[in-house]
């Protein structure tokens, strides 16, 4: 216990104070560096997020202008739908009807060849 409570000289106190000041300066440098890194990360992520949002809005505006300039029936052509219905009706023909149609068209071809 005598080591802790003995009288210290002024040079020992000066040395202790200098050591503590040095430690404080190093801790402040580390803290300042950490704040700089965190601030840079926040600025970079914020600018990237804002850029991404602007890019999405811009692409959405471009897509909406393209879609508004397209004809309304381009995605679902009613003629193709009606033509598909006509094919369905033809498929409902019986085998006899198909053979008759084929024989009628072959007779017409023979008549055209003779002329």
**pLDDT interval class at 40 (50, 70, 90):** very high
pLDDT higher at 44 or 5: 44
Q: What is the Cα–Cα distance from 57 to 61, expressed in whole angstroms?
A: 6
Mean pLDDT on 22-49: 92
> pTM above 0.85?
no
Q: What pLDDT sits at residue 21?
A: 93
Count of CB atoms situated within 10 Å of the CB of 57:
10
The two structure tokens encoding residue 89? 């009706």
Distance, in Å, from the CA atom of 26 to the CA atom of 28, rounded to the nearest integer, reads: 5
pLDDT of 61: 83
């Amino acid at each position: 216990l005598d080591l802790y409570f003995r009288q210290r000289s002024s040079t020992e106190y000066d040395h202790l104070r200098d050591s503590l000041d040095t430690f404080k300066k190093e801790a402040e440098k580390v803290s300042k560096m950490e704040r700089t890194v965190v601030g840079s990360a926040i600025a970079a992520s914020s600018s990237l997020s804002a850029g991404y949002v602007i890019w999405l809005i811009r692409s959405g505006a471009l897509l909406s202008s393209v879609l508004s300039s397209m004809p309304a029936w381009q995605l679902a052509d009613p003629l193709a739908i009606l033509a598909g219905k006509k094919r369905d009706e033809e498929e409902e023909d019986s085998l006899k009807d198909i053979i008759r149609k084929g024989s009628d068209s072959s007779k017409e071809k023979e008549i055209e060849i003779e002329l």
